[in-house]
Chain A
Amino acid sequence: MSVQLAGGSSRRVRLTYREAVRAGLRHALSADDRVFLMGEDVGSYGGAFAVSLGLLDEFGPERIRNTPLSESAFVGAGIGAALGGMRPIVEVMTINFSLLALDQIVNNAATLRYMSGGQLEVPLVVRMATGGGRQLAAQHAHSLEVWYAHVPGIKALAPATVEDARGMLLAALDDPDPVFIFEHATLYPLEGEVDEEPRPVDICRASVRREGGDVTLVTYGGSLAACLAAADDLADEGIEAEVVDLRTLRPLDMDTVLVSLGKTHHAAIVDEGWKTGSLAGEVSAQIMERGFDLLDWPVQRVCSAEVPIPYAKHLEDAALPSRERVAATVREMLV
């Protein structure tokens, strides 16, 4: 199908989330010689999640660069290459593995601009898969985005849609600072329709994915689907939930959350991280600081159970935020 848009024509195409990231990579690699991709098995293997499949043939091994299993060295090399004028995109296989690079991320990438009195610039993009739901147990399934969102000097993005999967990558490459993109591993097969022509998207604002006047569900990344599904269930019972996708975890766009809260006076935050010390806790605290008077009910949080994510499916399902848990939480708020 095709549609005419103001300012030029653009065909609409249907892509998976995986294809959208790949389209973003291809666009960036074609448009800018300074861009290159490096990470474990991004070359002939095509990336652990098949995101970079085919790019090696198109762009060659200098720009689709396989790395050894040395997260600290290749993330640090990304920092150095960014200092040297390149626009590196580093793929870290999963967020659990990224902990091996925390020194480079927290001590170097996040600090160099500030610590050098503004002389240095680290325009680095780091992508990684995050989250559970695939029976991979506790060393492949955690959601540690909040650890990165905690750190001043870096930006943290969580694309939940096909359009954001592609557009956030391009926006991140336009950014002068280190940007971390957390791709929820269950989203790669997700399909959606986007303009054929890749463009950067705004990475400053949250987005209202569903409008409703009774309760605000604040979420991001892999939990958006559970929230939208729960909102459908609640609608059948006459409860209209508004779903706010935070999109950017640092810096947080609380204005959008508070505008929604001004309408619904009820907020539940759905976050696949553990509740203790979670991003949901941060959003909740900011609601208290800036929107306490708007609340008719205490802010609720739907998070992962405080356990290392288990392997067995029934246990993993019980540990992660689900459509049912979100809906049940809302029902209790609106009794």
Chain B
Amino acid sequence: MYSAAKIHGFLHLYIGEEAVAVGVLQALTPDDAIVATYREHGQALARGVPAASLMAEMFGKANGSSRGRGGSMHIFDLARRFYGGYAIVGGGLPVAVGLALADRLSGREGRLTACFFGDGAVAEGEFHESLNLAALWELPVLFLCENNLYAMGTPIRQELAQPDISLRAESYGIPAEPVDGMDVIAVEEAARRAAIQVRRTGAPLFLELRTYRFRAHSMADPDLYRTKDEIGDWRQRDPIALLEARLREAKLIADDDVSALESDVAAELDHAVGVAEAGPFEPVEDLTKDVYGRSAQ
């Protein structure tokens, strides 16, 4: 769709990192809040935001999840407590802390706020300020570092003086655990344990999900900073293929199931593209609508 010029702007593909969103979102309830990054369509889909609404958003249509105002980097779905879609690296963390604070102050016990961010965010001041605040005030935030080893094109070892990200969280007194982010079962198990603990203690917890993106940072990235061999090695651990092999081995699925699933996905995508194609553009007369909630000249 991007190549066909139906989708414009930046588009950050999630291919390779699917186990992270799918595994974590399995462990959450509809009452939990989610804050994510600009590479968030995986989380949105796993949360149940309809593919058609996401596709329409990327097409810039009025039936998109943000009425075409946000695009791929700014998916919001209030009904599903999906609070976006933040394209400034680290910018979502303070917001997540505040959502958890609101739950605490309103006496909504047992809820948590799941906050996704990448390894690049770990170098930002907002990461440290937010971890400190969440730990200091003992707020129910589940910090989820999606470590794909590159901050755009800069490898983690050129960016972080201490590349062991879990150590950084622990320095704020937040229990942290590295997880194989290519193994969806491992991610789900770790996320369930973590969610139980956050709900029980009301205090933050940190998972470092070690993963890899198979595609470039965005559609604008020529991907000159990594070798084909490195990408190829990681592709050997494709989370979808790994899961499929595991399920086949356990005889939980067979060829028929896989092809049925694949055709379901293809049909859902066709439907999403159809809905997006058919959707209207927001009239230009509405350009200034929703800058404010109450009219302000």
Contacts and interface: CB of A to CB of B under 8 A. Distances in A.
Contact of A121 (B291, B293, B296): B293
A118 B103 contact: no
B258 interface: no
Given A78-B98, A112-B84, A177 B132 contact: no
Interface in B64-94: 64-70, 74, 76-78, 83-86, 88, 91, 93-94
B94 A116 contact: no
Nearest to A124: B98
B68 A85 contact: no
A80 B296 contact: no
Interface stretch (B7-15, B122-130, B219-227, B241-249): B122-130
Interface string B90-128: 010111111111110110000001000000000001100
Contact of B290 (A74, A117, A204): A117
B151 interface: no
A68 B247 CA distance: 49
A113 interface: yes
Interface in A58-109: 62-63, 67-68, 70, 72-86, 88, 103-104, 107-108
B44 interface: no
A115 B98 contact: no
Contacts of B69: 114-117
A328 interface: no
Contact of A118 (B100, B290, B297): B290
Interface string A21-55: 00000000000001010000000000000000000
A311 B125 CA distance: 30
A316 B106 CA distance: 47
Contacts of A88: 98
A192 interface: no
16 contacts: A67-B133, A68-B132, A70-B133, A72-B125, A76-B91, A81-B98, A84-B98, A84-B101, A84-B102, A84-B106, A113-B293, A116-B69, A116-B78, A117-B67, A177-B296, A251-B296
A76 B97 contact: yes
A176 B255 CA distance: 54
B102 A80 contact: yes
A273 interface: no
A72 B126 contact: yes
A167 interface: no
B296 A155 contact: yes
B209 interface: no
Given A62-B105, A79-B98, A80-B96, A113 B291 contact: yes
A119 B102 contact: no
A81 B106 CA distance: 10
Interface string B3-35: 000000000000000000000000000000101
B292 A81 contact: no
Interface residues of B, number: 48
A113 B292 contact: yes
B276 to A, nearest CB: 15
A70 B293 contact: no
A80 B99 contact: yes
B133 to A, nearest CB: 5
Given A70-B129, A73-B132, A81-B105, A116 B95 contact: no
Interface of A: 34, 36, 62-63, 67-68, 70, 72-86, 88, 103-104, 107-108, 112-121, 152-153, 155, 175-177, 204, 250-251
B289 interface: yes
Contacts of A77: 94-95, 97-98, 101, 133
A93 to B, nearest CB: 16
B228 interface: no
B251 interface: no
A86 B101 CA distance: 9
A114 B100 contact: no
B132 A70 contact: yes
Contacts of A250: 296
A176 B293 contact: yes
Nearest to A84: B102
Nearest to A116: B76
Interface string B39-81: 0000000000000000000000000111111100010111000
Given A116-B74, A119-B78, A86 B95 contact: no
A161 B297 CA distance: 24
Interface centre among B98, B125, B294, B296 (most CB of A within 10 A): B98
Closest CB pairs A-B (n = 3): A80-B98, A76-B94, A84-B102
B266 interface: no
B64 to A, nearest CB: 7
A267 to B, nearest CB: 20
B103 A84 contact: yes
B136 interface: yes
Interface centre among A76, A80, A103, A204 (most CB of B within 10 A): A80
B280 to A, nearest CB: 13
Contacts of B290: 113-114, 117-118
Nearest to A78: B98
Contacts of A73: 93-94, 97, 126, 129-130, 132-133
Given A80-B100, A86-B106, A175-B293, 6 more contacts: A108-B91, A115-B76, A116-B84, A117-B69, A176-B292, A250-B296
A115 B106 CA distance: 27
Interface centre among A84, A155, A176 (most CB of B within 10 A): A84
Nearest to A76: B94
